Amino acid sequence: MSADAVVLTGVTRAYPGGVTGLDDVSLRVPRGAFLAIMGESGSGKSTLLHVASGLDVPTRGSVAIGGVEIGRMGEARRAKVRREQVGFIFQSYNLVPSLTVEQNITLPLRLAGRSPDRRWIAELVERTGLAGLLRRAPDELSGGQRQRVAVVRALVARPAVVFADEPTGALDARTAEGILDLLSSLVTDLGQTVVMVTHDPGAAARAGHTVLMAGGRISRIVGRPVAVGAAA
Ligand code: ADP
Ligand code: MG
C-alpha cells in the first residue's frame, strides 16, 4: 500500500480556449493528512480537486490515487478507481431525494457491486449520531444532518481519500463547527485522509496543512510540508 493517498507530479490542466486551470502543480498528500485548499475564485481549487480525485484528467503530468496512476486511464477505469478509492462531500450534500438515509449511505457500495460491511456502517452511523434517522428522506433532515449523511456515504467504501468541496459553505457557524469536528475526528481516530476546499479561514485552521492557490499554482503551504516541487 502506498504511503501517500494522492500524489500529483507536474500537473497541468489546460482548458480549451487557452485558459490554464492548473499550471505545473506537484503535491503529495500523505495518508492520514487533513489538507485544506484555499485561494481566490478562479485560482484553480476546483480544477485541483477534480484532477486529484480522478473526475478530470491532466493535460500534462501524473496523478496517483492510493498508489494507482490514473492520468492515462480511460473514463471507465478511472470511474472504478473513484468508486473504490475516493469519497466526495459537496457543499450542497448531493443526496438522492427519493432514497432513505440508509439507502443513500449504501448507494456507493451498490453502484460498485459490493456488499455492505455492516459493522463499519454501524460504527459510522453511531459516530455521526444518525442512528434514529436511517429511514427518513433527506428532505426530512436539517442541513447539518444531511451533511452527516454525506460524510458517512463518502466513507462507506473505505476510500484512500475523501475530497470535500466547501463542506460547510451552506451551514450556519455552529453546525459548520460540528461538521469540522466530525471531519477532524475521522482523521484523528480513523486515519482517514481528507482534502477540503474552503473559503473559511476558521475551517482551514482545523486542517493540518493549508495549500494556498493563485493563478493555477501553489503559492504557499502552511503547516508541515506536503508538497514536492511546489512553485516557488
Ligand atoms: P476555483 O475553483 O479556484 O474558483 P477553478 O479551478 O474553477 O477555480 O478555475 C480555474 C481557472 O480555470 C479559471 O480561470 C476558470 O475560469 C477556468 N476554468 C475552470 N473550468 C473550466 C472549463 N471547464 N473550461 C474553461 N475554463 C475553465
Ligand atoms: Mg471552485
The predicted-structure confidence for 19-73, as pLDDT tens digits, reads as follows 999 999 999 999 999 999 999 999 999 999 999 999 999 999 999 999 999 988 9
Among protein residues, the one whose CA lies closest to atom 18 of ligand 1: 21
Query: Does pTM surpass 0.85?
Result: yes
CA atoms within 13 A on the CB side of 51: 31
Distance of CA 230 to the CA centre of its chain: 21
Could you give the domains of the chain? 31-57+74-223 (3.40.50.300)
Tens digits of residue pLDDT in 67-93: 999 988 999 999 999 999 999 999 999
Cell 494556498 belongs to 212
What is the predicted pLDDT for the residue at 15?
97
Q: What is the share, in percent, of the chain residues with pLDDT greater than 70?
A: 96
User: What number does the ligand 1 atom closest to the CA of 46 have?
Assistant: 2
What is the predicted pLDDT for the residue at 72?
86
Question: Contact at 8 Å (CB) between 40 and 87?
Answer: no
Tens digits of residue pLDDT in 95-131: 999 999 999 999 999 998 999 999 999 999 999 999 9
Neighbours of ion ligand 2 (CB under 5 A): 45-46
User: What number does the ligand 1 atom closest to the CA of 22 have?
Assistant: 10
Asked whether the predicted pLDDT for residue 203 surpasses 60, the reply is: yes
Question: Contact at 8 Å (CB) between 148 and 95?
Answer: no
What is the predicted pLDDT for the residue at 71?
86
Asked whether the predicted pLDDT for residue 230 surpasses 80, the reply is: no
Going by C-beta distance under 8 Å and a sequence separation of 6 or more, which residues neighbour residue 53?
65, 82, 86, 88, 161, 163
